[in-house]
Amino acid sequence: MGKPKALVTRPLFPAARAILDECFDAEYWTSAERIPRAELLRRVADKEALVCLLTEKVDEELLAAAPKLRIVATMSVGYDNIDVPACTRRKIVATHTPGVLDETTADFAWTLLMAIARRLVEGDAWVRAGTWPGWDLDQLLGGDVWGKTLGIIGFGRIGRGVARRAQGFRMRVLYHDAVRAPRDVESEFHAEFAERDRLLAESDFVSLHVPLLPETRHLIGKEALEKMKRTAYLINTSRGPVVDEAALARALEEKKIAGAALDVYEREPEVHPALLARKDVILAPHIASATVETRTNMAVMAARNAAALFQGRRPPNALNADALGL
């Protein structure tokens, strides 16, 4: 009997390919362009496994086009690209890659936080333009980071990683989450639970670490932005639609907050045009987990998830394992 067939929507990395090639007759999408939707639907038709990225939408249409599919393994911790209930209805396992990117993403939230507070990107552009006249007293004055209040919305693994790093900066840490963390976790991270409005009102930096769910869509909109300090900065490394970009652009224009640093957008790769022109915004291209080590680990994890099912094991990071009785 031949190996099961898998479609892999990127060439991934050698370590992940080795796992996939051992287990599957794997077909890789190798073009530099992202796989077009029609091509994805056509190629997945005879596959039993799909290893994909967050850019591939796994919805009813795709599942209907893939009658042999038994597992969808996304190489991301966020899985808003997958209709998990639809997978469950069709007895298809859905997996993601939790844990391996937490520290790297927390590092990047801090990269953005420091860069927006200290106006690093503006400074870099000035020096490169050749118009910087040399040191002066009041050039590019930013805001202090050390000793300030950091508000973390979403206190899961990544949010906690961001909190841990704040200790080195002697910051006060507030957090908000749908579920309050146990007291020992709060004391381990020196973090104080706060209702969302208090967090917004007291924080000098608000960093977002929630998954995209119906209840987190536009969590930060006009009303939330108006509660923030005029001197505060917003950092988003979670999912774009958690922030209402139009409301953010208006709040910045009206100087309701001091600045924002974003890694994710409502309609990637598009960015709200009013944000593109602003100097008080840093725009990163969704790279919070983009280190060689972490992306390799994520690819290996996705490959192991897909392979496990066909090796008779429960995929370690299955989202619907209980619903499927695995």
Interface residue list for ligand DGY (CB under 6 A): 54, 76-78, 101, 289
Angle at 208 between CA 76 and CA 159, to 5 degrees: 75
CB 44 within 8 A of CB 7: yes
| SS3 of residue 8 by DSSP | strand
| Least separation in angstroms between CB 222 and ligand DGY | 25
| Least separation in angstroms between CB 289 and ligand DGY | 3
Closest CB to ligand DGY among 87 and 171?
A: 87
| Least separation in angstroms between CB 54 and ligand DGY | 6
Most distant pair of Cα atoms in the chain: their distance: 75
Closest CB to ligand DGY among 41 and 283?
A: 283
Other CB atoms within a 10 A radius of the CB of residue 31 amount to 11
Considering Cα of 320, then 322, then 325, then 326, what sign does the dihedral take?
positive
Closest CB to ligand DGY among 160 and 227?
A: 160
| Least separation in angstroms between CB 105 and ligand DGY | 7
Closest CB to ligand DGY among 104 and 203?
A: 104
Between the alpha carbon of residue 194 and those of residues 140, 183, 214, 246, the distances in Å are 32, 13, 22, 27
Q: How far apart are CA 172 and CA 149, in angstroms?
A: 5
User: What residues are labeled active site?
Assistant: 239, 268, 286
Closest CB to ligand DGY among 74 and 320?
A: 74
Using alpha carbons, select from 194, 198, 299, 239 the residue that is nearest to residue 81. Answer: 239
Closest CB to ligand DGY among 108 and 155?
A: 108
Provide CB contacts within 8 A for 218, sequence distance 6+: 241, 242, 243, 244, 247
| Least separation in angstroms between CB 17 and ligand DGY | 19
Angle at 311 between CA 69 and CA 298, to 5 degrees: 75
| Least separation in angstroms between CB 98 and ligand DGY | 9
Using alpha carbons, select from 95, 5, 2 the residue that is nearest to residue 43. Answer: 5
Provide CB contacts within 8 A for 118, sequence distance 6+: 142, 145
Q: Which residues of 292-302 are buried (b: 16+ CB within 10 A; e: fewer)?
A: eebbbbbbbbb
